[in-house]
Amino acid sequence: MTPLSQIAWPIGAYLLGSIPFGLLLARCKGIDLRRHGSGNIGATNVARVMGNGWWWGLITLTADLSKGFLPVFGCKLAMAGATDPDFWIACTGLGAVLGHCYSIFLGFRGGKGVATAAGVFMAVCPFAAGIAA
């Protein structure tokens, strides 16, 4: 694995983590989450603010979990034979969480990163994540 492809995983994870799915879903209904409820862009505020909230909250939770899970799981598969894969897997997970908390698309503001971090945890150690759930 080339150094450029190793660096691409954390950068890609940051960019994916930066997508504010809760804000985008709420915007479909004409609501700016940052001005309603707690002001957070996460699943709980989506569920609180949107009509039929549990459904929109579940979609947001799934999207935020996926932002952490997918890049880390992909990195684990891609780095299977690489030297020091754990370092790059950790950097990829950190990139996803930092992307959610400091989104480039929201002026380096974002959510709390709890669901995204849970997605990272599920990809890194699914057994422990299952016990923790």
Q: Give residue-wise pLDDT tens across range 68-79.
A: 999 999 999 998
- Residue 53's pLDDT band (boundaries 50, 70, 90)? low
pLDDT, position 5: 81
pLDDT, position 40: 86
CA 85 to chain centre: 21
pTM: 0.90
d(CA 114, CA 117): 5
Mean pLDDT of 56-61: 91
Q: Give residue-wise pLDDT tens across range 4-31.
A: 888 999 999 999 999 999 999 888 888 8
Closest CA to 101 of 64, 55, 62: 64
Residue 117, pLDDT above cutoff 70: yes
pLDDT, position 38: 84
